[in-house]
Structure 1
Amino acid sequence: MSKLAYYAGLDYHRHSIPACGMDAQGNLIQNATRPNDWRAVAEVVPEGGTVFAAIEACCGAADFSEELIRHTGWSVSLAHPG
């Protein structure tokens, strides 16, 4: 049995992270600004699936990405904001 796939787009900021979660069909699950905390950001997609996330590459984003990976197991890629 395969897990469901989810996608997350994250716009890293020092105190908050606008985050968008989508399912594999491109349906919006959640689009909200979350506190800069891995637990709050992880809520943009349901638990139990495989999550592929892209986060804006800027100061602090790599550290946050490592924390998110360590605690959630998400696959996180740094992306150029352009």
Structure 2
Amino acid sequence: MQETTQMVTWIAQEGFPVPSTRRFVLLSQDRHEVFLTVPLYDANYIKHLKGEADAKTPLSFLSMRSYGPWNIYNTKSLSAATS
């Protein structure tokens, strides 16, 4: 939930870029584990965030794809993350 809120805020701070022109990747840590999270959204989601969506605009949602966890104390785990 926190990652989603951070991602929406980040998208807004960057001026609501269309997904084809700007990509975001969030690196987060929970104790000894790290994760990469990538948002998946389309132009209709941006319209919704900006308040420009109307009744004819198809529903669109933000999906979050997470990768990990990788253990920062385990070199094999971190090597798997970079290959």
**TM-score by structure 2 length?**
0.27
Greater helix fraction, Structure 1 or Structure 2 = 2
Which structure has the larger Rg?
2
**TM-score by structure 1 length?**
0.27
